[in-house]
């Protein structure tokens, strides 16, 4: 297969497996999504989805959030990890949203990335999932899979995002990045990976990745 045929194979396979695409983080509006994505850094969506109802019961908008202290926020979100940094970020960005954006979550990378604890990936998720603006957030699953599929050199997430945007049509970015995440979780994990169940990697995978997999598993037989 040439590169375009590989891209088409990825799109068609993922569309067949995931005709409907659930959003991993529970939220009800741009603000609650922003907070959930911020909390998900170095944590799991499952853990975040257990904690956000507790936090949002206390404050689900920036005006109520700043009525809490940083310490009160930290105590609620502690199970997701990095709570000192995340609680300061949530409190600080809530103030900025009120002071600079009339309490609304902004719709540009520039404004989002100015918020405390909000990086490029978090901004991209919010733009994509809250506002439907084409973006291609690259998490660990997407970074791993595009390397396995020989669609990027895998040097860093910045390069992976550039390659993804170059290879895939803009109109499907918002769905595709979620499809790849779900596929990575179900069929192409970092550990305990079964290539026989991973039809995309088995079909178009990078030769060195496939060779390493078969070498490792031949030893285990």
Helix (H, G, I), strand (E, B) or coil at 154: coil
Torsion of CA 187, 189, 191, 194, to 10 degrees: 20
Calpha distance 107→121 (Å, rounded): 14
pLDDT tens column, 124-158? 999 999 999 999 999 989 999 999 999 999 789 99
Calpha distance 107→104 (Å, rounded): 9
CATH match for 3-20+137-219 among 1.10.1670.10, 3.30.43.10, 1.10.1840.10, 3.40.50.720: 1.10.1670.10
pLDDT at res. 146: 98
Cα dist. 150→3, 164, 200 in Å?
Answer: 9, 11, 11
pLDDT at res. 87: 98
CB 59 within 8 A of CB 103: no
CB 119 within 8 A of CB 148: no
Of residues 115, 112, 122, 114, the one with CA closest to residue 91: 115
Residue numbers annotated as active site: 121, 139
Instruction: Note the CATH number of domain 30-131.
Output: 1.10.340.30
Of residues 140, 114, 145, 144, the one with CA closest to residue 34: 114
CB 101 within 8 A of CB 94: no
Predicted TM-score (pTM) of the model is 0.92
Q: Is the pLDDT of residue 221 over 70?
A: no
List every span in the chain annotated with CATH 1.10.1670.10.
Answer: 3-20+137-219
CB 46 within 8 A of CB 71: no
pLDDT at res. 168: 98
Burial of residue 160 (number of CB atoms within 10 Å: 0-12, 13-18, 19+): buried
List every span in the chain annotated with CATH 1.10.340.30.
Answer: 30-131
Q: Which two tokens stand for residue 102?
A: 């009339």
pLDDT at res. 220: 65
**Residue percentage of the chain with pLDDT more than 90:** 95
pLDDT at res. 64: 98
């Amino acid at each position: 297969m040439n590169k375009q045929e590989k891209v088409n194979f990825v799109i068609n396979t993922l569309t067949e497996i995931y005709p409907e695409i659930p959003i991993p983080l529970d939220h009800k509006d741009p603000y609650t999504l922003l907070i959930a994505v911020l909390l998900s850094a170095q944590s799991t969506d499952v853990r975040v989805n257990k904690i956000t109802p507790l936090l949002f019961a206390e404050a689900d908008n920036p005006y109520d959030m700043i009525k809490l202290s940083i310490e009160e926020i930290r105590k609620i979100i502690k199970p997701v990890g990095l709570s000192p940094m995340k609680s300061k970020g949530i409190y600080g960005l809530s103030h900025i949203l009120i002071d600079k954006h009339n309490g609304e979550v902004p719709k540009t990378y520039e404004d989002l990335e100015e918020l405390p604890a909000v990086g490029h990936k978090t901004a991209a998720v919010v733009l994509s999932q809250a506002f439907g603006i084409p973006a291609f957030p690259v998490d660990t699953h997407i970074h791993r899979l595009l390397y396995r599929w020989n669609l990027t050199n895998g040097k860093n997430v910045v390069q992976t995002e550039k390659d993804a945007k170059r290879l895939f049509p803009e109109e499907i970015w918002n769905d595709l990045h979620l499809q790849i995440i779900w596929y990575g979780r179900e069929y192409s994990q970092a550990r305990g990976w079964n290539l026989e169940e991973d039809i995309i990697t088995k079909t178009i995978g990078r030769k060195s990745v496939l060779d390493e997999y078969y070498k490792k598993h031949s030893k285990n037989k």
